[in-house]
Amino acid sequence: MISNETIDTISLHFLPMLPYPENALEPVISMKTIRFHHGRHHRGYIDNLNRLAERTAFAGVPLMEIIAETASKPDHAAIFNSASQAWNHAFYWRSLKPRGGGKPAGALMNRIEASFGSFDAFRKELVAAATAQFGSGWVWLAEDVEGLKVVKTANADSPLILGMTPLLTIDVWEHAYYLDVQDRRADYVNAVLDNLINWDFAAENLV
Ligand code: MN
């Protein structure tokens, strides 16, 4: 026998645990930044989503489906923003790992070279996109039928709504780096690429 209370509980979205301890990304990303970013910002998107979805047709619907059904619909902007930010942040945590960085190997490296000419050309394009993104947003390595591409998106948007497959992301909202490097976004992006980016995760996401 399932009570109404149980049904309400199972329809909720939950904050995913970090795949590493809060201090594991230091010194590039401090424990203080991670605590605010995961414990306050990411949690805030989940809490907002649950509040907005409660007693609507979106209650209990998986994030990807909410994102697909609400993208580019002004009437659903608030729930889209919360659901997409919830998804983006879960993907961001997995795009990083302690002692990551460097270069990918195997099939992913071959695909990067085929799409960008060289790893260095890809990296240059990613850093340029991250610094060119005006205001809050995200930079991504994503895949579509033409190959791999660097994509930058504003606010809560992601390659999912462009019909592309995200391989990895770097959050370039100020809350991701301001406590650590203030306005030096390029320093943060370069340090993430050198030390934290999770190429194994990106390779797993290849179509
Ligand atoms: Mn963020």
Q: Please identify, in words, the CATH class of the domain defined by 106-204.
A: alpha beta
**Ligand 1: distance of its center to the CA of 85 in Å?**
8
**Ligand 1: distance of its center to the CA of 10 in Å?**
26
The CATH-assigned architecture of domain 4-16+30-94 is: Orthogonal Bundle (1.10)
H helices present in 101-169, as ranges: 106-116, 119-132
Q: How far is CA 182 from CA 37, 76, 124, 132, 185, in A?
A: 15, 33, 22, 17, 8
**Ligand 1: distance of its center to the CA of 23 in Å?**
17
Tell me the pTM. 0.94
pLDDT in tens, 137-194: 999 999 999 999 999 999 999 999 999 999 999 999 999 999 999 999 999 999 999 9
Q: Are 205 and 167 in contact (CB under 8 A)?
A: yes
Token duo for residue 45: 């998107």
Decide the pairing of beta strands 165-171 and 137-144.
antiparallel
CA distance 97 to 76: 34
What residue segments make up the domains of the chain, in order of their start?
Answer: 4-16+30-94, 106-204
**Nearest CA among 85, 56, 33 for reference residue 196:** 33
pLDDT in tens, 26-37: 999 999 999 999
**Ligand 1: distance of its center to the CA of 37 in Å?**
6
